[in-house]
Chain A
Amino acid sequence: MANIIELKQVNKEYGDQVKTPVLFDVDLAIEEGSFNSIIGQSGSGKSTLLNIIGTLDQPTSGEVMIGGKRTDQMRKNELAGLRNETLGFIFQFHYLLPEFTALENVLMPYRIRHGKVPAEKIDRAHEIMKLVGLEKVKHNLAANMSGGQQQRTAIARALMNQPKIILADEPTGNLDSDTSETIYNLLRDINRDLGTTFVIITHDRRIAEKADRIIEIKDGRVALDI
């Protein structure tokens, strides 16, 4: 399988006056359709790495390629398009829009891309929500749902535009272990059925071990890659 994500000699520093280096010469390649987990202590730079892959953050130096295209040189509008079409995000905090219902939140990536939503896409949103077990709370405002429901809504939203890559930063960090288990199984099913590439940050070794590949980040460097 070809590499869908490639990082070459990526460095990242924060701060203008006092420079705080976070990532050092990271080289990383991720295969299309694979299920990867990133582990590491807090402050190790794993979230920064994920944000750089997701084009939300820019590297200080080095190359980032998504689907064979360099993202570190793209314009803002190109990046917005790339994020909308190729990438799906699931964050530790759900980041739903509280003014909209669960269904509207799920449809949002599609509306950003196309504007009007045809009936078949609404059906698709219903299907995804059924897949993540949300059919009963579809029309609730995002603020009126439990933590697990909100996180599952965020997953359904990440799936809406059928992205090639889903990036998740501790997607179950705020959830109890049973719900976490269910959500991981769900992500694995999606990976198997749709061939979506997953890169997931987790601090839970049990969950990390279920991945095809474990990448450990330590002090801004790849310390372990199995």
Chain B
Amino acid sequence: MRLAFSIARRFLRASKGQTFLIALGIAIGVSVQIFIGSLIQGLQIDLINTTIGSQSQITITSRTEDKLIDDYERWQPVVAETDPSLRSVTPIAQGQALLVFDDENYSVLVRGLDFDSAEGIYQLSNRLVSGEMPSTELELLVGQDLAEEAGIKVGDLISFLTNVGQETTATVSGLFDLETASLNKTWVITDLASAQGLFDYDEKITAIEMQLEDVFAADTVAEALHSRLGDGLSVNHWKADNIALLSGLNGQSISSYMIQVFVMISVLLGIASVLAITVIQKSRQIGILKAMGIRDSKASLIFLFQGLLLGIAGAILGILLGLGLAYAFTRFALSPDGTPIVPLVIDPGFIALSALFAITVSTLAALIPARKSSQLNPIEVIRNG
């Protein structure tokens, strides 16, 4: 083992130029892999953040006839205990209503939030474009598209007609922009108690919303929640509602894997062919070693070690190159406001994985020359001089 390793090292050192070229070949493969992987990952996270980052990722609703959840205080700790990755668990009381302003009617969704716990999901304080957050009962926020359409301004009084029948008047304390036109047009946000009063819900709520650490675990966590909460409540998750997005992301991941796999295959073929040539270059030395009694298996090990060492050197070089490439990309590929077009995600686990992959691939590539060297007969070298 030790001898084969030191011979491998010496062979590599003896032809520095060639060693460097092979290592560089591996390095370019690894760097492309790291760069493309980080880019696609960044792209996907960016896409997910804009799509589902500011909405409920798991929503609990009631299966009862009135669709109301009783006793939020009882459910909240049960939900929180189910999975530690759940965050921003918040109660919602919402209902359809007609907004009456200036003798015009608008169909809206009145959403009663607990502002403190809902902040984690909707970040309303950042979404406010004018005015303030509601501070007392019957103050509310209106989406800026609706405000524009109806001519509503901060401080205006608006009335609501609900299916309960009574007309209620409330004050507009601010306008919000959730960056989605349909929400900006139809949502009216108020505090929990106001909404509960408006729709006659008493202390009941219509839904429990939450987000979670790993958005892709939403289906399994939802499953766990369902089994904890029983059949009285229904648990929905974003994945079920965004199948098109998911299949798009999936397609992107698959094409990224395909690119990475083909890059690595071309690296594998490159190394295998160069190492096959080194066996011919070193056949004299292998013949001498065999005449001196080195075993075939050890002679093969020399080339496997060469592959391993080249893989390690190439992986290290490739990580540096890939990170350099990623850094240059975030520095120079900028959108007009100075932020990177795509925020890259540098994932150490992914980098370690592609380094490991490159090392394995180069060791595998060395199998062909290793086999060749094991078949080499010393007499051919001795007889042919």
* Option from A80, A99, A116 in Cβ contact (under 8 Å) with B294: A80
Whole-angstrom distance from the CB of A104 to the nearest CB of chain B?
9
Alpha-carbon separation in the docked complex, A98 to B288 (Å) = 11
Judge whether A112 and B3 touch: CB under 8 Å: yes
Judge whether B292 and A99 touch: CB under 8 Å: no
Kindly identify, within residues 260 to 302 of chain B, every residue whose CB is under 8 Å from any CB belonging to chain A: 284-285, 287-296, 298
B329 interface residue, CB < 8 Å from A? no
B228 interface residue, CB < 8 Å from A? no
Known A51-B379, A111-B3: A100·B292 in contact at CB below 8 Å: no
Give chain A residues whose Cβ lies under 8 Å from the Cβ of B293. Answer: 80-85, 109, 112-113
Find the residue from A57, A77, A99 having the highest chain B CB count within 10 A: A99
B77 interface residue, CB < 8 Å from A? no
Judge whether A99 and B378 touch: CB under 8 Å: no
The closest CB in chain A to the CB of B285 belongs to A97
Judge whether B291 and A95 touch: CB under 8 Å: yes
The segment from B7-15, B29-37, B66-74 found at the interface with A is B7-15
Give chain B residues whose Cβ lies under 8 Å from the Cβ of A85. Answer: 293
Judge whether A57 and B379 touch: CB under 8 Å: yes
Whole-angstrom distance from the CB of B203 to the nearest CB of chain A?
80
Kindly identify, within residues 1 to 21 of chain B, every residue whose CB is under 8 Å from any CB belonging to chain A: 1-3, 7, 10-11, 13-14
Whole-angstrom distance from the CB of A199 to the nearest CB of chain B?
15
Q: Is the interface of B mostly helix, strand, loop or mixed?
A: helix
Question: What 0/1 pattern do residues 359 to 385 of B give for CB contact below 8 A with A?
Answer: 000000000000000000011001101
* Option from B13, B290, B294, B385 in Cβ contact (under 8 Å) with A93: B385
The closest CB in chain B to the CB of A86 belongs to B293
Judge whether A56 and B14 touch: CB under 8 Å: no
Judge whether B296 and A99 touch: CB under 8 Å: no
Judge whether B3 and A115 touch: CB under 8 Å: yes
Known A56-B291, A84-B293, A99-B10: A116·B378 in contact at CB below 8 Å: no
Question: What 0/1 pattern do residues 69 to 98 of A give for CB contact below 8 A with B?
Answer: 000000011001111110001011101111
Count contacts on A: residues with CB < 8 A to the other chain: 31
Find the residue from B2, B11, B14, B291 having the highest chain A CB count within 10 A: B291
Known A80-B290, A112-B289, A116-B2: A51·B295 in contact at CB below 8 Å: no
Give chain A residues whose Cβ lies under 8 Å from the Cβ of B288. Answer: 95-97
A108 interface residue, CB < 8 Å from B? yes
Alpha-carbon separation in the docked complex, A19 to B65 (Å) = 98
Give chain B residues whose Cβ lies under 8 Å from the Cβ of A109. Answer: 292-293
Whole-angstrom distance from the CB of A221 to the nearest CB of chain B?
21
Known A80-B296, A99-B10, A99-B14: A89·B291 in contact at CB below 8 Å: yes
Alpha-carbon separation in the docked complex, A81 to B385 (Å) = 24
Alpha-carbon separation in the docked complex, A93 to B379 (Å) = 14
Alpha-carbon separation in the docked complex, A113 to B2 (Å) = 12
Give chain B residues whose Cβ lies under 8 Å from the Cβ of A80. Answer: 290, 293-296
Whole-angstrom distance from the CB of A168 to the nearest CB of chain B?
13
Alpha-carbon separation in the docked complex, A76 to B374 (Å) = 11
Whole-angstrom distance from the CB of B14 to the nearest CB of chain A?
4
Known A99-B11, A116-B2: A108·B292 in contact at CB below 8 Å: yes
Whole-angstrom distance from the CB of B86 to the nearest CB of chain A?
57
Give chain B residues whose Cβ lies under 8 Å from the Cβ of A96. Answer: 288
Give chain A residues whose Cβ lies under 8 Å from the Cβ of B378. Answer: 56
Find the residue from B291, B293, B296 having the highest chain A CB count within 10 A: B293
Judge whether B13 and A99 touch: CB under 8 Å: yes
Judge whether B13 and A84 touch: CB under 8 Å: no
Give chain A residues whose Cβ lies under 8 Å from the Cβ of B13. Answer: 99
Known A97-B289, A98-B14, A99-B13: A112·B294 in contact at CB below 8 Å: yes
Judge whether A115 and B291 touch: CB under 8 Å: no
Give chain B residues whose Cβ lies under 8 Å from the Cβ of A99. Answer: 7, 10-11, 13-14, 285
Alpha-carbon separation in the docked complex, A45 to B147 (Å) = 106
Alpha-carbon separation in the docked complex, A203 to B76 (Å) = 101
Give chain B residues whose Cβ lies under 8 Å from the Cβ of A81. Answer: 293
Judge whether A91 and B296 touch: CB under 8 Å: no
Alpha-carbon separation in the docked complex, A80 to B378 (Å) = 11
Give chain B residues whose Cβ lies under 8 Å from the Cβ of A112. Answer: 3, 289, 292-294, 298
Question: What 0/1 pattern do residues 96 to 135 of A give for CB contact below 8 A with B?
Answer: 1111100000001101110110000000000000000000
Judge whether A51 and B289 touch: CB under 8 Å: no
* Option from B10, B296, B382 in Cβ contact (under 8 Å) with A77: B296
Whole-angstrom distance from the CB of B382 to the nearest CB of chain A?
6
Judge whether A77 and B289 touch: CB under 8 Å: no
The closest CB in chain A to the CB of B287 belongs to A95
Interface residues of A (CB under 8 A from B): 47, 51, 54, 56-57, 76-77, 80-85, 89, 91-93, 95-100, 108-109, 111-113, 115-116, 157
Interface residues of B (CB under 8 A from A): 1-3, 7, 10-11, 13-14, 284-285, 287-296, 298, 378-379, 382-383, 385
Known: A99-B13, A112-B292. 14 other contacts (CB 8 A): A51-B379, A77-B295, A80-B293, A81-B293, A82-B293, A83-B291, A85-B293, A91-B382, A98-B14, A98-B285, A99-B10, A99-B285, A108-B292, A111-B3
Could you write out 6 A-B pairs with CB less than 8 Å apart? A99-B7, A111-B3, A112-B293, A113-B293, A115-B3, A116-B2
Nearest 10 interchain pairs by C-beta: A84-B293, A83-B293, A99-B14, A99-B10, A56-B379, A80-B293, A95-B288, A112-B294, A57-B379, A80-B295
